[in-house]
Amino acid sequence: MPPLTRPDNPGLISLPPRTAQLAAETDVLVVGGGPAGLGAALGAANAGAGVILTERYGFLGGNATAALVMPLMSFHTQSLRREKKGATTLLPTDHGPGEPVVAGALTTLLERLVREGGALSPSLQTGYVVPFDPEVFKLVALDLLDEAGVRFLFHAFASDIISDHGVREVVFETKSGPIVIRARVVIDCTGDGDMAARAGAPYEIGREDDGLVQPMTLMFRLTEFDHTEFAAYVKQHPDQWRGVHGLWDLIRKAAADGQLQLPREDMLFFATPHEREVSVNSTRVTRVLGTDVWDLSYAEWASRRQMRQIGAFLKRYVPGFERAYVVQSGVNIGVRETRRILGDYQITVEDILQARKFPDVIARSTYPVDIHNPEGSGTLLKRLPPGEAYDIPLRCLLARDVEDVLVAGRCISGTHEAHSSYRVMPVSMATGQAAGVCAALAARLGKPPRAVPVSDVQTELTRQGANLRGTQ
């Protein structure tokens, strides 16, 4: 049976009024423990604020761990070198060896991950992406928050935000009933902009003409993969694999055999730090929205069936996968795109492709515009000029019409096309760190984030190791 669908004319039920426990008060409250939330909590704590981070799950990492999204995409400028046909690295071969434009909290995380054997350093060999182990990621993220003195609460789903005499109160649904945490400044790192939207900030969703968003993908890890056998196949069929994706002929054959029905034309998978493992990014569910419970239920239902088909296809048709099996799938399907909260500035695709610079830069990115087709197969890729990076201004984190709420990560202010670039995890972490610093300074000054001088945010970010290209 398919899952419940949205009722046509739902009756409305009034709920009884309720009270909640006031659980804690803090300078800065970070809602969401993904890459942006980690950056925000570390940025705010290192700037001297009292910080609480809350998360709906029982672990940190967001998409990196819950949705098994791997690897961390490149944050290095691109060279003129392009991928070689038939390369079998299972990692992109067209990045670097340029300048890393994200540092700060990301560098701290990466150094710790590598030291604990949970990631490979970005290098020519990794295609300047960072393959990592999600279980090590969860532990390292916890350690970093502990060391920074961040308090946290897990299993707490933020459902509402209220304003009370200059402080913000966020309501959480928990097993202990509703609780409230009071904060001078709230940073929305939910990916979906849940808090900013509840607070009244305007937002956009999807493409300008039809509102469609990028598809969802359930990611999964396959183990007992034989890289040598796969490489031999690719050597014999160099037109069938391009760095991280391909197998067009085998997919067509499996489809003709009635073994595979997928809304994408190729397989996309990545190496991980484990030799006999790949991370598969090949399921696709279109015309669904990650802020809609009906769509989410349908997407989980459909993508888990696709995962089963893909696992069977790889095993039966693709050399190197004969003994491979699915060892883990995401706790939830990966959601690429939902609300883009409108801020004091909306970053555009032109800003990205022209590598635009802003005086109020708080983060930088080199990642291309990368749009998985919202309607079906195909992916659109538009790169920055070689050696270039674009700036993200602080104004993209300042939600319009709302004081005391900052946004970070994939819900910051930008257009649909621009979002496809700045949403990647290293950049989400960088905008998170910037929001954390701005929130900490706002709490210290007793002013709204908008009133914090951007030069103070930049100075503190630079002190924390962020790479803002010599703005100081």
Interacting residue ranges for ligand FAD, rule: CB under 6 A: 31-37, 54-57, 62-63, 66-67, 69, 71-73, 157-158, 189-192, 194, 217, 219, 281, 334-336, 409-410, 423-425, 428
Residue at token pair 């939330």? 37
Report the b/e string of 78-94 with b at 16+ CB within 10 A. Answer: beeeeeeebbbbbbbbb
Q: Give whichever of 311 and 334 is closer to ligand FAD, judged by the CB atom.
A: 334
Instruction: Please state the closest distance from residue 67 (CB atom) to ligand FAD, in A.
Output: 6
Output the smallest distance, CB 40 to ligand FAD, in A: 9
- Report, in Å, the least distance between residue 304 CB and ligand FAD: 14
Residue pair 223/217 in contact by the 8 Å Cβ criterion: no
Positive or negative: CA dihedral 121, 126, 129, 132:
negative
Q: Which two tokens stand for residue 460?
A: 């503190």
Q: Please report where in the chains the tokens 């909290």 appear, as a residue.
A: 105
Q: Which residue's CB is nearer to ligand FAD, number 73 or number 318?
A: 73
For ligand FAD, the closer of residues 113 and 471 by Cβ is 113
To ligand FAD, the closest distance from the beta carbon of 11 in angstroms equals 26
Minimum CB distance to ligand FAD, residue 148 (Å): 17
Angle in degrees, CA 262, 8, 411, rounded to 5:
60
Helices 35-46, 134-148: inter-axial angle, 10-degree rounding: 20
Backbone angles phi, psi at 51, to 5 degrees: -130, 135
Report the distance separating Cα 189 and Cα 207, nearest Å: 22
Residues 6+ apart with CB under 8 A from 102: 75, 363, 364, 365, 426, 427, 429, 430, 466, 467
Report the nearest approach of ligand FAD to the CB of residue 70 (Å).
6
For residues 139 and 232, which CB has a smaller minimum distance to ligand FAD in the complex?
Answer: 139
Nearer to ligand FAD, 50 or 71 (CB): 71
Nearer to ligand FAD, 36 or 41 (CB): 36
- The two structure tokens encoding residue 51: 């910080």
Q: Which is nearer to ligand FAD, 268 or 471 (CB)?
A: 268
Give min distance, CB of 356 to ligand FAD, in A.
Answer: 21
